[in-house]
Amino acid sequence: MTLKLSTLDKLTGLLFAGQMILAGNTALNGPTGPIPTHFSMATGQADGWHDRTGVALAIAGMAVLGLVLAGGLGRAAANAEADGDMGRKRGLVAAQAVILIAFTGITVLTLTVSLGAVGDRPDGPSAMMAVFGLLFAALGALLGRVGPNPWVGVRTPWAYKSRTAWDRSNRLAGRLWFFGGIVAVGLSTVMPQPLGMQSLIGFVLVSALLAAVESWRVWRADPDRQPF
């Protein structure tokens, strides 16, 4: 049986291979001093550091995990296509794209904030807020299209027992993240820090809670729901 790779599968392989190369280059040629890797929510300043080996291992680990998750979703999408279930295939492809964007976004954050020393600059927290806003907007644009899967989306017990609950809760989360991300980018240049980043993280947590409640509400009203 010939393994047929989609364009997204090939892009997945290229991006995560690039991240592995970045990890190797960081280990060999990265900054020799402490690299900021954690930032205080109270002050927005760095309060945790690692050497270049630790940062390289983190990048490599994220690349391997992202490849496994995105590759698994791509394989599941191919199986769905072989079974003639094109709706499920589209949902799994959307989930694969979400994984790809999320893990690539984390790598971009590492490059700009840690290796690029943006986190040490006075405007570092504002730059982080803008990048996070872009990331959440990109994820939100796709989240409403994600079909049921083990890794991506509003994965509540109720969403797994009702396809309607899955679809509506993910659409709600997607809209909130998309528009919230755009607003975060706009506010990143004017909102004082670390209040801006704290507000963004609070918004993400509240939106996740709202989506979970929505999944329960829709499941309860769905006549075709599966019982527990």
Q: What is the pLDDT of residues 151-195, one digit of tens each?
A: 999 999 999 999 999 999 999 999 999 999 999 999 999 999 889
What's residue 130's pLDDT?
92
Q: Please say whether the beta carbons of 62 and 103 come within 8 A.
A: yes
Q: Please say whether the beta carbons of 222 and 165 come within 8 A.
A: yes
The SS3 of residue 39 is: strand
Separation of alpha carbons 123 and 119, rounded Å? 8
Q: Classify the C-alpha dihedral 64-205-150-141 as positive or negative.
A: negative
Residue 220's CB is within 10 A of a number of other CB atoms, namely 11
What's residue 43's pLDDT?
67
What's residue 12's pLDDT?
96
Find, among 95, 210, 76, 220, the residue nearest to 161 by Cα.
220
Domain residue spans in the chain? 1-121, 122-228
Separation of alpha carbons 171 and 47, rounded Å? 36
State which residues of the chain have pLDDT below 70: 1-2, 42-44, 117-122
Counting every residue, how long is the chain?
228
Separation of alpha carbons 166 and 143, rounded Å? 11
Residue 160 structure tokens: 């797994």
Find, among 191, 105, 115, the residue nearest to 141 by Cα.
105
What's residue 117's pLDDT?
63
C-alpha angle with apex 213: 208 to 215, nearest 5 degrees? Answer: 95
What's residue 42's pLDDT?
65
